[in-house]
């Protein structure tokens, strides 16, 4: 009997030792524990990371492992939000709005400025994380963080410019004006291909307008979501502001669906595929909610006979293969005036003889029908995000920009379909969703407008000259 107990103790000891060994091996296999990737800890990341932030960090849902797409090795783990934690986070975000909305817009702009500066300090490290977790090359990763920085700068200036017009009233002793106010809680659902920039576009402008934000990043880039939120949260905490102003709930379709159906989410910004975007739009519309959709594109470059090929070739290459062709603005269609059969060309062959014959027939038809047909080809697809022509003909340029030209939200000349600046409104038409983010007057999407009439006279004249006596 004594020998049996001894054997059992030895077996249990070996079992626990084996478990500890497996756990240790699993932890050491994570990239974050390798000296080469020790810089990840500079972003506040560890082996296991909470994926919920609402003023404090937490998370007790599914544990997901983030993998590097370049080598399929695990980077670190994130614990996603449960539905109960989502509920608590929404409540805390709504409470935080009561504080944030009372702060004057220029003061809100100052907080956004500090966020931009905090991002500047970690731009290389955060850009490296984007490259590691999403898979885009390093310079694109850094460039994406730079977009967030740039839109913060833009939002700071915007904080002193938001306003509506004072309009002429037809009634004596009356003032007619527009008042713009924040919508409240802005839900932001972003995609894997731009895990920093798209959140930045929404977050910086929404905050300046007086809104609080609830972010659900892509399930495959949760470490980036956590790292960005840590940077933003530190700024809020340093200014004694509620952290829930910029909340985070990592999760999957369950969290996204909850946001789409939640009447407390006053505006839902969704970036993703047209298929999922349509489902989101219907859920939001069912509750008469507001939505901002940035969906897929089927973008074309049209090269006319007078195009500068020194511009065309690098533009077509960058727009086609940048981010491995995973941008919403990636060029998917290339229409040429003629075939440049140059052995140095960087655009490869079609797959079959039949495809070549169809392509050549299409080119011949384009030659015959000319500019009008090329414009029509650009517009014949269901999406309407980005488009570009290469030409030196100024008449053609203005026709391309006019009512019978491109029907896309982004209409370019002698530049690629991708690589938009933050100063202009970004978005598209038709199945691309119709939303606008970033610059120009995109801020209006994050606010509600009131038309206000003030009677400062002692009379009560009615509009349209109506007499009620």
For the stretch 409-466, pLDDT in tens is 999 999 999 989 999 999 999 999 999 999 999 999 999 999 999 999 999 998 888 8
How do 383-384 and 267-271 pair as beta strands? unpaired
pLDDT higher than threshold 70 for residue 244: yes
| pLDDT tens digits, one per residue of 332-372 | 999 997 654 455 555 455 556 776 787 777 666 655 567 88
Q: Which of 59-63, 149-153, 463-467 has the lowest mean pLDDT?
A: 463-467
State the Cα–Cα distance between residues 267 and 446, nearest whole angstrom.
Answer: 7
Task: Tell which residue, 48, 201, 222, 198, has the closest CA to residue 133.
Answer: 222
Residue 301 bridge partners (DSSP)? 334, 388
DSSP 391-403: -S-HHHHHHHHST
Phi, psi of 355 (to 5 degrees): -65, -40
Rounded-to-integer distance, Cα 283 and Cα 268, Å:
11
Say what the pLDDT of residue 45 is. Answer: 98
| Mean pLDDT (whole number) for 79-95 | 98
Percent of the chain scoring above 90 in pLDDT: 83
Q: Which residues contact 372 (CB under 8 A, 6 or more apart)?
A: none
Select from 130, 97, 341 the least CA-distant residue to 225: 130
DSSP state of 38: G
Q: How does strand 52-53 pair with strand 57-58? A: antiparallel
What is residue 5's predicted lDDT score, i.e. its pLDDT? 53
Percent of the chain with pLDDT over 70: 88
Kindly report the backbone phi and psi dihedral angles of residue 157, in degrees, each rounded to the nearest multiple of 5, phi listed first. Answer: -65, -40
- The phi and psi torsions of 49 (rounded to 5 degrees) equal -125, 130
pLDDT(277) > 80: yes
- For the domain spanning 299-421, the CATH number is 3.40.309.10
User: Where in the sequence numbering do the catalytic residues fall?
Assistant: 294
CB 175 within 8 A of CB 169: yes
Does the domain at 77-295+436-451 match CATH 3.40.605.10? Answer given as yes
Distances (CA, A) of 292 to 244, 273, 433: 22, 13, 8
What is the reported pLDDT for 12? 46
Show me where the domains of the chain are located: 77-295+436-451, 299-421
Count Cβ atoms below 10 Å from residue 274 Cβ, excluding itself: 18
Query: What pLDDT does residue 90 have?
Result: 98
For 20, residues 6+ apart whose C-beta sits below 8 A from its C-beta are none
Q: What is the per-residue pLDDT for 11?
A: 46
Summarised one tens digit per residue, pLDDT across range 152-202 is 999 999 999 999 999 999 999 999 999 999 999 999 999 999 999 999 999
Q: Give residue-wise pLDDT tens across range 307-332.
A: 999 999 999 999 998 888 899 999 99
């Amino acid at each position: 009997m004594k020998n049996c107990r001894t054997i059992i103790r030895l077996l249990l000891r070996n079992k626990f030792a084996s478990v500890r060994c497996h756990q240790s091996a699993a932890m050491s296999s994570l990239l974050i524990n390798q000296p080469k990737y020790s810089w990840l800890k500079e972003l506040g990341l560890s082996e296991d990371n909470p994926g919920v932030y609402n003023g404090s960090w937490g998370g007790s849902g599914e544990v997901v492992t983030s993998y590097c797409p370049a080598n399929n090795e695990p980077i670190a783990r994130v614990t996603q939000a449960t539905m109960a934690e989502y509920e608590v986070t929404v409540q805390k975000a709504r409470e935080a709005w009561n504080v944030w909305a009372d702060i004057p817009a220029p003061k809100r702009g100052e907080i956004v400025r500090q966020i931009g500066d905090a991002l500047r300090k970690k731009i290389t490290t955060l850009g490296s994380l984007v490259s590691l977790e999403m898979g885009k090359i390093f310079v694109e990763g850094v460039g994406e963080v730079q977009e967030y920085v740039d839109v913060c700068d833009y939002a700071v200036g915007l904080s002193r410019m938001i306003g509506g017009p004072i309009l002429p009233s037809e009634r004596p002793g009356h003032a007619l004006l527009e008042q713009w106010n924040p919508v409240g809680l802005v839900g932001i659902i972003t995609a894997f291909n731009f895990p920093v920039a798209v959140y930045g576009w929404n977050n910086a402008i929404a905050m300046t307008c007086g809104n609080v934000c609830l972010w659900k990043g892509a399930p495959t880039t949760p470490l980036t979501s956590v790292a960005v939120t840590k940077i933003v949260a530190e700024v809020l905490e340093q200014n004694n502001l509620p952290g829930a102003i910029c909340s985070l709930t990592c999760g999957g379709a369950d969290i996204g669906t909850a946001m789409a159906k939640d009447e407390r989410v006053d505006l839902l910004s969704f970036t993703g595929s047209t298929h999922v975007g349509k489902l989101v739009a219907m859920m939001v519309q069912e509750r008469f909610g507001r939505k901002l959709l940035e969906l897929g594109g089927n973008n074309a470059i049209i090269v006319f006979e007078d195009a500068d090929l020194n511009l065309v070739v690098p533009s077509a290459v960058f727009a086609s293969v940048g981010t491995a062709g995973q941008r919403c603005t990636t060029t998917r269609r290339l229409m040429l005036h003629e075939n440049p059969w140059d052995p140095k060309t960087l655009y490869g062959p079609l797959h079959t003889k039949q495809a070549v014959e169809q392509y050549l027939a299409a080119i011949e038809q384009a030659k015959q029908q000319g500019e009008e047909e090329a414009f029509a080809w650009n517009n014949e697809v269901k999406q309407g995000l980005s488009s570009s022509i290469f030409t030196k003909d100024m008449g053609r340029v203005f026709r391309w920009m006019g009512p019978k030209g491109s029907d896309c939200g982004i209409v370019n000349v002698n530049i690629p379909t991708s690589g938009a600046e933050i100063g202009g409104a970004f978005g598209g038409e038709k199945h691309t969703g119709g939303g606008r983010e970033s610059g120009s007057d995109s801020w209006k999407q994050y606010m509600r407008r009131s038309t206000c009439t003030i009677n400062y006279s002692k009379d009560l004249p009615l509009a349209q000259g109506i007499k009620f006596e």
